Homo-oligomer: A and B are copies of this chain.
Amino acid sequence: MAVTIKDVARRANVGVGTVSRVLNGGCVNDKTRELVLKAINDLRFKPNSTAHRLRKNRTGVIAVLVPIINHPFFSEFVEAVEDEADKLGWSLLIVSSQQKIDKEKSIIDKIHKKEIDGAIFVTHYKHDEADMRGCPFVSIDRPLSDKVPYVTSNNYQATADAIEYLISKGCKKIGYVGSKPIVDSEVLQREKAYLDVMAKYGMPPRIVNDVIIHGDERKTVDSFFNDYPDVDGIFASGYTMAQTTYLAAIEKGYSVPDDLQIIAYDGSFKKWSSNYILTAVEQPIAEMAKTIVQRLSDIIDGKEVPVRTVLETKFIKGNTTK
């Protein structure tokens, strides 16, 4: 059997309480500490996490729930969350819901079963308020319910600015391709901003914004180009949408940025394999991750936190615009 705190106590000729105090930095004589540490070393003792959790009524685990891991935006976000969780001493449980509501429910269940201390939702469905009541939850881009804190970026203003930017660069026929979230989300503000600016300048909108299963972007983009072949500027809402738009454009023979200028809304595109740099509204993914983990951490510790936090995006001038 595994070696326990009791074995250590016996070996060091002290009580179990003393060993525990050595482990957790309680008040203990230097001489005894030496003895205990030696025993711990000799026996290769490792404290049992489960027992620790049971006694403390805390798991030290938080979860992050994303619709899909195999996606540049979400996996970048998840890695940033992992970093911050690490720093704050949390273990991270990563779950990809795969659009299955059961998977999402299982997270709520894990909270009730005290398998995790809290969770970050970056995801699709509405859940029963009663089930969620009092659970430490936070989310990205949308309020899970009235009380659940969330972090977002300034979708509306940044998009409006980006569209204006295209206009200032001479675009006359500006299109919008996007992937609509399933539930209400501040991401929808991008579409609204686009439409508002189009209206302001009296330009007819050219828009495709469907609910898209990851991997099917190309179909949507192709249909967009089919409907609006004369487009000279595109705002692509989302990481993969932008990549797909760019690739489709060059495969179709558009010359970027001469015939067609592209602006993307999303992450940093550090893993982009083109030598082109996409002009983009960059979401501060790392900062969003950091903030949301801190919010969750605070909630678990019983602190008050603001319900809505808006972080600033950054405009990156690449070479897909003039």
> What residues of chain A have their CB less than 8 Å away from a CB belonging to chain B?
2, 46-51, 53-54, 59, 68-72, 75-76, 78-79, 82, 91, 93-96, 98, 109-110, 112-115, 214-215, 217-218, 222, 240, 243-244, 247-248, 250-251, 270-271, 273-276
Contacts and interface: CB of A to CB of B under 8 A. Distances in A.
Contact of A50 (B54, B76, B109, B112): B54
A250 B248 contact: no
A247 B273 contact: yes
Nearest to A86: B103
A77 to B, nearest CB: 9
A113 B75 contact: no
Contacts of A96: 79, 82
Given A214-B271, A247-B274, A271-B215, A69 B78 contact: yes
A151 to B, nearest CB: 20
A70 B276 CA distance: 20
Contacts of A244: 273
B273 A218 contact: yes
24 contacts: A46-B109, A49-B113, A49-B114, A50-B54, A50-B59, A50-B114, A69-B75, A69-B79, A69-B94, A70-B271, A71-B75, A75-B75, A79-B96, A79-B98, A82-B96, A91-B93, A93-B94, A215-B270, A218-B274, A222-B275, A240-B271, A240-B273, A244-B273, A247-B247
Given A48-B114, A114-B48, A114-B50, A68 B59 contact: no
A227 to B, nearest CB: 17
A251 B270 contact: no
Given A47-B113, A50-B53, A79-B68, A251 B271 contact: no
Nearest to A110: B49
Contacts of A69: 69, 75, 78-79, 94
A59 B49 CA distance: 10
Contact of A94 (B68, B94, B217): B94
A240 B243 CA distance: 14
